Amino acid sequence: MTVDLRKDFVDYAKSLNSACEDTNIQKAMTRAVGSYRDTVAETMERFQHTPELAREVREIKSQSVANLDELLKQAMASVERNKGKAFYAKDHQAALEIALGIIGRNKTVVKGKSMLGEELHLRQYLEDNGNEVWETDLGEFILQLRKERPMHILSPSIHVPREQVAEVFSKFFGKEVPPDIAEEVKAVREFMREKYFTADIGISGANVVAADTGAMVIIENEGNVRLATGAPPVHIVIVGIEKLVPTFQDAMKVAEVTWRYAQYGIPGYVNIVSGPSKTGDIEKVTTYGAHGPKEFYVIFVDSGRSEMAKQEKFSQALNCLRCGGCMYECPVFQVTAGHFGHIYMGGIGTIWTAFVAGGMEKATPLAYSCLRCGRCVERCPMSIEVPAMIGELRKRAIHGE
């Protein structure tokens, strides 16, 4: 069945055109692209083994995607063995209901950055059910206050220059916050610290999950994930099943390639969480709930991913590490930021949108703004053939499956 796309196309074209004329986006994107290219070039020079490691990771990811059912079973058993509780959510609604079942109502929640959280509209859902939810990632916090969606998968507020951040912070904090980045960061730090230690629940995503051990690897720089998942008494991980790999060693390789192409020699923090906090210090009796969370839950979300894995022409999109590198190279993204996107952005985001976050109605306008120039493939550590998949999506939009 083909799709009537007229309204979606018109709305989307308006948003793209106005983004192209937005001087704040131009200013912020010019700064961000320049900084990414300089830093990543210098980082690759220092860590010259990275492209070879990326080739190895490509193999690990491809095999994992072909074996998701088995890895999921192993990972769930590993989480339970570690005294956590593992859930499988077939779709978005199931994931939200499981999360709400754990959290309940009238709770304070601190949350780390998660594109899956965006896909689920998780914050909105928890707020609608009577909870207070704070985004702890600085960029996400800015967007929470501006009531906007992320414009990049790793740097969600990439389109907001410091002058606009100062405006929104001054209003929210009720005092003058100057357009000085250090002052802006300080204001959020002071506000957020109390939230970490009074929150009932911390929520995070994970960059990669090792099925053999149930280890969740979470890469970050700000220290917000460490606090959000360490201070409250309950930690919930919400993660897509495409993040599964067989072993802990595989997970470390995936993590290194992810942060390297995200422009880091080494990130500020690499969190490895596998269960509730515990101690055996008194008489060697293992007791749960020491300094960190006493309860640990993992929700593995499918929601279109296993279907994507079965499709020969699209399954490689599941290899995406969400490093964000391709977006800085994309000529359309460079002038529109995440307006070239729905929930996920850019060429790879178009494929994700089609399968897990909006369907063909939302993905088709995106597919027709991709230039299929292939610059993303050059940058991508997984060499994902986005232009070929975009071509296939266009065929489906016209002729149906």
Residues at the contact surface with ligand SF4, assessed by CB under 6 A:
261, 320-326, 348, 379-382, 384
What are residue 358's phi and psi, to 5 degrees?
Answer: 140, -25
- Give the type of residue at 319: N
Helices H / strands E in the chain, number of each: 19, 12
Q: Minimum distance between the CB of residue 163 and ligand SF4, rounded to whole angstroms?
A: 28
CB closer to ligand SF4, 2 vs 35: 35
Amino acid at 267: P
> What is the token pair recorded at 49?
């083994």
Least CB distance to ligand SF4 at residue 161 (A): 23
Rounded to whole angstroms, how far apart are CA atoms 383 and 396? 23
Answer for the pair 356, 305: CB distance below 8 angstroms, yes or no.
yes
**Closest CB to ligand SF4 among residues 225, 380:** 380
From the list 219, 231, 307, the residue with the least C-alpha distance to 268 is 219
Distance in Å, CB of 354 to ligand SF4, minimum: 14
Closer residue to ligand SF4, CB minimum distance, 157 or 319: 319
Based on CB atoms, which residue is closest to ligand SF4, 40 or 165? 40
Q: How far is the CB of 314 from ligand SF4 (least distance, A)?
A: 13
DSSP, collapsed to helix, strand or coil, labels residue 287 as strand
**Beta partners for residue 109, in sequence order:** 133, 201
The nearer residue to ligand SF4, 159 or 322, going by C-beta atoms, is 322
> Of 138 and 326, which has the nearer Cβ to ligand SF4?
326
Q: Residues with Cβ < 8 Å from 6, sequence gap 6 or more?
A: none
Shortest Cβ distance from residue 379 to ligand SF4 (Å)? 5
Q: Which single residue is written with the structure tokens 């149930």?
A: 214
- Burial group, residue 26, by CB count within 10 angstroms (0-12, 13-18, 19+): middle
Measured CA to CA, the distance from residue 65 to residue 310 in angstroms comes to 9
Q: How far is the CB of 344 from ligand SF4 (least distance, A)?
A: 9
Distances (CA, A) of 30 to 160, 264, 329: 12, 19, 12
Phi, psi dihedrals of residue 207, rounded to the nearest 5°: -80, -30
Token pair recorded at residue 167: 């405006």
The residue among 79 and 318 lying less far from ligand SF4, judged by its C-beta, is 318
Nearer to ligand SF4, 27 or 372 (CB): 372
Please, what is the minimum distance in Å from the beta carbon of residue 330 to ligand SF4? 9
**Least distance from ligand SF4 to the Cβ atom of residue 243, Å:** 12
The nearer residue to ligand SF4, 82 or 319, going by C-beta atoms, is: 319
Count Cβ atoms below 10 Å from residue 78 Cβ, excluding itself: 21
Please report how close the Cβ of residue 357 comes to ligand SF4 at its closest, in angstroms.
15
Q: Which is nearer to ligand SF4, 84 or 150 (CB)?
A: 150
Q: Which of 390, 297, 323 has the alpha carbon at shortest distance from 99?
A: 297
Give min distance, CB of 120 to ligand SF4, in A. 19
Beta-strand relationship, 269-273 and 201-204: unpaired
Closest by Cα among 56, 38, 47 to 383: 56
Give the Cα-Cα-Cα angle 300, 306, 308 (nearest 5 degrees): 130
